[in-house]
Amino acid sequence: MSSPIATPSPPPTTASSPPYDRLKAVKEFDETKAGVKGLIDSGIKTIPSFFIHPPETLSDLAPGSGPEPEIPTIDLSAIHDSRAAVVDQIRSAAGSVGFFQVINHGVSPELLRSVIGAIKAFHEQPAEVKAQVYRRQIGTGVSYISNLDLFTSKAASWRDTLQIRTGPIAVEEKEIPEVCRKEVMEWDREVVRVGDILLGLLSEGLGLGEEGFKELDLSQGRLMVGHYYPFCPQPNLTVGLNSHADPGALTILLQDHIGGLQVRTQQGWVHVKPLDGALVINIGDLLQIISNEEYKSADHRVLANSSNEPRVSSAVFLMPGNREKLFGPLPELTSAEKPALYREFTLNEFLTRFFKKELDGKSLTNFFRQ
């Protein structure tokens, strides 16, 4: 059993000081446009109260006892000689833990290193340069923010994020910050290639053949995020990214060597250990629904970074491009023995529901369950 962690209260009030105003503190932080990195650069030694998570979250951060299971690693180069075996491996991982890593995927090690370097370079620019794209709406296709759900979550998380829309209508090239423009565009092209290979294998795993998902255009809509997790002076009081499941079909993640990503399994929280040259793949809520729960999306989180160097990652969320199209369990995957577990919905309704709530686990899929 994990030991309880004492949670500090908001700053004490005195006769001369007003009560702690969380909304005011959050607004003031947001208006700096400097993000969490700006707090660290200012020399703080304790984190602001609105970053402190409730006891039920903090008590769950302690490492478990006993050996930790490994997230599956799948060699994509084997699809040429042993495709059926690779399909089985992917089907098994997607149907159980919902997470796996892929190696020999064809993305060059040089590009992987340069993507991480470019995301890091963006976040380490002067605050006034980043502030030019600091915005909570992604209308232009590019935004830099700290915490998507800053104003709706119970507590903020210790990270900053660059978001870039790369599909179905890609952001104009000139809108992408120059410091990472070339790398982002190359990374997106490679994500589409790898994503289509994986979606073909996942479709085969459901008995639908390699082209089974083609008409759904599951990789046409894409959002790339570049996360930056600075050193946290009190990592036992907050998280880097709160527990949540991704809403789209599939997520392709490139993480650096620092570590901290965890996935919830039947054995508890398991580290997705950094593997040089690997990509981390996870099933999103939409694919869980389309597959009628043959595949499972999984809750995952990132611990606050206790390392003196920042943790950097880049994820691309794959989802359909047509937001008015109806989605639900595929008819081929429903039967009298296993009826459709979810109602149909448009992607617009689905994503509106996602953005109306804070990042917190499985409430999205439960909302559409019938």
pLDDT (tens digit per residue) in 97-154: 999 999 999 999 999 999 999 999 999 999 999 999 999 987 789 999 999 889 988 9
At residue 13, the pLDDT reads 47
Rounded Cα gap, residues 320 and 5, in angstroms: 42
Site of tokens 């890593």: 101
- What are the Cα distances from residue 20, in Å, to 8, 10, 33? 13, 7, 22
The neighbour count for residue 298, using CB atoms within 10 Å, is 20
- pLDDT above 70 (res 15): no
Task: Give the pLDDT of residue 19.
Answer: 79
Instruction: Label residue 1 by pLDDT band (50, 70, 90).
Output: very low
Q: Is the pLDDT of residue 357 over 80?
A: no
> In sequence order, what are the beta bridge partners of 163?
143, 225
Half-sphere exposure of 184 (CA within 13 A, CB side): 30
Look up residue 104 and give its amino acid: N
pTM score above 0.85: yes
Q: What is the per-residue pLDDT for 361? A: 54
In this prediction, residues 176-189 reach a mean pLDDT of 98
Name the percent of the chain in helix, strand, coil, to the closest 5: 30, 20, 45
- The whole-number average pLDDT for the span 242-258 is 96
| Residues in CB range of 294: below 8 A, 6 or more apart | 95, 205, 206, 333
* 227 contacts 160 by C-beta, under 8 angstroms: yes
pLDDT of amino acid 7: 42
- Among 258, 268, 245, which residue's Cα sits nearest to residue 69? 268
- Check residue 174 and give its pLDDT: 95
* Summary mean pLDDT of the chain: 92
Local structure of 75: helix, strand or coil: strand
Q: What 8-state DSSP symbol labels residue 216? A: G
Beta strand residue intervals within the chain, DSSP E: 73-75, 99-103, 142-145, 160-167, 221-229, 239-244, 250-255, 261-265, 268-271, 279-283, 300-303, 311-319, 326-327, 345-346
Share of the chain above pLDDT 90, in %: 85
Phi, psi of 97 (to 5 degrees): -80, -25
* 90 has pLDDT over 90: yes
The larger pLDDT score, comparing residue 2 to residue 222, is at 222
